[in-house]
Every structure is written in structure tokens, then in C-alpha cells.
Structure 1
């Protein structure tokens, strides 16, 4: 599977990811585009992130903090899908990371909110803004 990111390193702008599905990972796949230098996130932290989420099957964007006003979203890592919790844990503030999330670490057979189909592989490009 190939993930192309238009903007790899300017964290003031949306990443602009596109996905070409071929071989899908069985487990979470993590690629750092920018390694941050700030505090390191753990699964016990509350974090502020900017992100873009796309379906691997057709590269359709299903959610983006960038498109909803560009304001970072804050949440406790312990209360999100495993792909986010595991994928952001270990990341440092100021970093940008690609997460390829298989269904069992995402929304599984139930999907989510009518926008994520059952058993969907997902791609997120995540910027870690702050660790609280």
C-alpha cells in the first residue's frame, strides 16, 4: 500500500494524503514524516492533535480537523480507537506521523457513523500539537 503526502513537513498546513491500496497491513503501520522534539505522548495522556483521516479503499476523506476550522482536537488517548492510542503513544510534540490502521484496531465490523464502512482500513496523518 502506498500513502503519498503532499505536504510532509509544514505543520501549519493540512497534509493532503492520498492512498493507493494494494497490500494491506494486518497490524498498525506507523511512519514518521517529522520527528517532534517536545514531550512524548503515552496512552495515559490527553493530547491535542491535528489530523486527516481517509479510507484506504478509495482515498475518501471521512474526517479532518483541518477542514473543520483547523483547530486542534483534544482527547484522552485511552478513550480512542486502538490505532490512534497505539499510533500516537511514543510520538513527540511537533511530530507528523502516518498511521495505517487495520479494521481490528479501528472501527471493526460495525464501522462508524455511516461514514466508515465495516472492516475498513484507515489512514490518518496526525500532527501532535500538545501533550497534557
Structure 2
């Protein structure tokens, strides 16, 4: 389900095959120098870098570190009326252009359920590489204009995610999506 979800969230059209995933991982290592996304659990005493009260519910986001995956905690159902982006940790690289090809580690959580539906912060999870003009609007809004090396979070409206839903990933029409994204490189 996670692999299918990744293809749904990251690309506007179609799913990738396993062979596509393998070539992406190879391209990613060359572009960013990172072979896998951090997978260790977040420390229990980690303080959130972002707390957001939604139209309903609330969320807290702890950014990923070099070794630890991020943590998104949701008081469900969580919903926003406007897409909100928060820089959790500012990087020191170049600013990402709106049409850049980026390499990222990311975690996606459904605001309705509070459950993870996608991401590559897991044991052996390879960074994902894609063009910002080929992803859902909210994902692009979160990354464009940020600096390489940044950790960002976004809580996106259904219109910026999947207005009609994405049943294969457990996303229903009207679901708010939350992501934590580590920007590894941009070209």
C-alpha cells in the first residue's frame, strides 16, 4: 500500500513500477549523496516544531533529523480551510524553483484518520526524485521557494491534494493531507 500511495501522491499521472523505483534510488544517491531516508523512531521527548489548530482537530509535527524519522501527531479528524506551509528547519542550500526536479524524504498522514498513508521514512526507504510540475499542488506549494536542506511541513486542503479522493491510498474526497518533507537536492 505504501508503494502505491507514493506513486499516487508524488505523481499526477499513473503509478511507477518497481524498476522505476530502483532507477530513482540510483539517481537520488548521485544527486543528493543520501542512500536512504532516516528510519529510527523520533525520541519520545522531542519537541514539535509546528503545532496547528485546524478548522477541526489539531496537529503537531516533529522534523526528521539525520537519523530519526519525523513524527506527525494528529487529533483527528483534522481539517484545514486553507493550505498552510511551515519551515521546520531552514536549510542553507539554493532556493527551489517552482519547476525544479527535487529529491526528498517525506511522510504523509491523512488528517481524517491520523494514519500514515505514504512516505519513505522507513527501513531501507530510498529518497524520491520528481519534478515539481508533476505532483499534487499542495506538495509543490510546500517545496517551491524553500531552500535545499530544509525540513518543511504542509497541511493541505483537499483541493491542493486529491479533491476526488484516492481510494487506493485510503484518501476520501474532502480529506486534508499532512506531510513532513526533507528537501535533499534540487536541479
Same fold (TM over 0.5): yes
**TM-score, length-normalised on structure 2?**
0.64
Structure 2: 5+ residue stretches without partners: 1-52
Matched with 2:127 is: 72
Greater helix share, structure number: 2
Does the 8 A contact of 1:38 with 1:94 survive in 2? yes
Aligned partner (choices 23, 46, 60) of residue 4 of structure 1? 60
Matched with 1:96 is: 151
Question: Quick check: 19-28 or 111-120, which moved more?
Answer: 19-28
Q: Deviations over 1:19-68 (max 9, x none)?
A: 12477322210111101110111221000000000011121000011126
With a CA cutoff of 8 Å and minimum separation of 6, indicate the structure with the bigger relative contact order: 1
Greater strand share, structure number: 1
Root-mean-square deviation (Å): 1.8
Structure 1 stretches of 4+ with a deviation exceeding 6 A read none
Residues 29, 87 of structure 1: CA spacing in aligned structure 2 closer, same or farther, 3 A cutoff?
A: same
Does the 8 A contact of 1:111 with 1:120 survive in 2? no
Matched with 2:140 is: 85
Aligned partner (choices 104, 111, 117) of residue 56 of structure 1? 111
Structure 1: 5+ residue stretches without partners: none
Q: CA deviation at 1:111?
A: 2.6
The structure that has the greater radius of gyration is 2
